[in-house]
Amino acid sequence: MSETMALNRYLLFQVGNELYGTPLLDVREVAEYVEPKFMPNMASYFSGVINIRGSIVGVADLRKRFGQTTQVTRNTALLVCDTTQGPIAVVVDQVDSVITIQDTDLERSPPVMTAVPVEYLTGIAKVEGQLVTIVQLQKLLNEASMAKQSA
């Protein structure tokens, strides 16, 4: 029960005006936004690296990745995820909340064409009358780090 409960828990965040959700366990830590240090020859959606409690973390800009405009606000935050390449921080416009989404509320294969490749898209969830795009952030970041590597 608790396992399922843990599995059903999602972290909601905003990128642009879109509300996204990711499995809670995909995120290792939520951190305040820190201006990343520029690194040469980064991937287009990479912003640089930051220092979180002594460890160097790369910063991926999901907004860029998702084709959204980049703007740092007061609510801009970083979602730190463990990838195969190490921890990667994702810049989001706002961390919204932690919720539990039942499978029944989750539409696995929506008929949409999004900027996120479909293989990382879990589905569309209906939360309090809002539609939330559920993405597998860890996988996406792995892909991204791979893409970085490939780049």
Partner 1 sequence: MKKKTFALRTKIALATLPLLLSSTFVGYRIYELSQTVDRRAARAVKMIETASDAELHMVQMSEALRGYLLDSTNKSEFERKKVADSEYVESAKNLAELVSDSKEISDLNNEMAKFDEEQLDRVENEVGGLISSGASNAVSFYLKTYMPLRAEQSARFQKLKGMVLKLSADTLSDIEQQKQKEGWIAIYFLIGSICCGLGFLALATGGSIKHISKEVELLTRSSTSLGSTCMTLGGASEVLSHSTKEQASAIQESVSALSEMASMIQQTAENAKRSLQSSVEVEERSHTGQEIMQRMTHSMGAIEQTNQSLQGIAQIIQTINVKAGVINDIVFKTQLLSFNASIEAARAGQYGKGFAVVAEEVGNLAQMSGNAAREIESLLTDSQKQVHSTLEAIKLRVSEGKVVSDESVRAFNEISSSIREVTTQIKNITDATSQQSVGIEQTEKALNQLDLMARKNADTAQTTLQSSETLKRLSGELMTASCSIMGAVSGSKKADALAQAGAAPVATSAHSPVGLHIVANDVSADDQDFKSAA
Q: Give the footprint of partner 1 on this chain (CB under 8 A).
A: 2-3, 6, 9, 11, 24-25, 27-32, 74-75, 77, 95, 97-98
The residue among 7 and 131 lying less far from partner 1, judged by its C-beta, is: 7
Residue 2: which residues within 8 A CB-CB, separation 6 or more?
none
CB of residue 28 to partner 1, shortest distance in Å: 7
- Label residue 140 exposed, middle or buried (CB < 10 Å: 0-12, 13-18, 19+): buried
The residue among 43 and 77 lying less far from partner 1, judged by its C-beta, is: 77
The residue among 39 and 98 lying less far from partner 1, judged by its C-beta, is: 98
Q: List b or e across 72-95, with b for residues whose CB sees 16 or more CB atoms inside 10 angstroms.
A: eeeebbbbbbbbeeebbbbbbbeb
The residue among 18 and 29 lying less far from partner 1, judged by its C-beta, is: 29
Q: Which of 88, 67, 54, 60 is nearest to 16 (CA)?
A: 67
CB of residue 143 to partner 1, shortest distance in Å: 22
CB of residue 6 to partner 1, shortest distance in Å: 5
The structure tokens listed for 17 are 């005006």
CB of residue 123 to partner 1, shortest distance in Å: 20
What is the distance, to the nearest Å, from the Cα of residue 17 to the centroid of all Cα atoms in its chain? 14
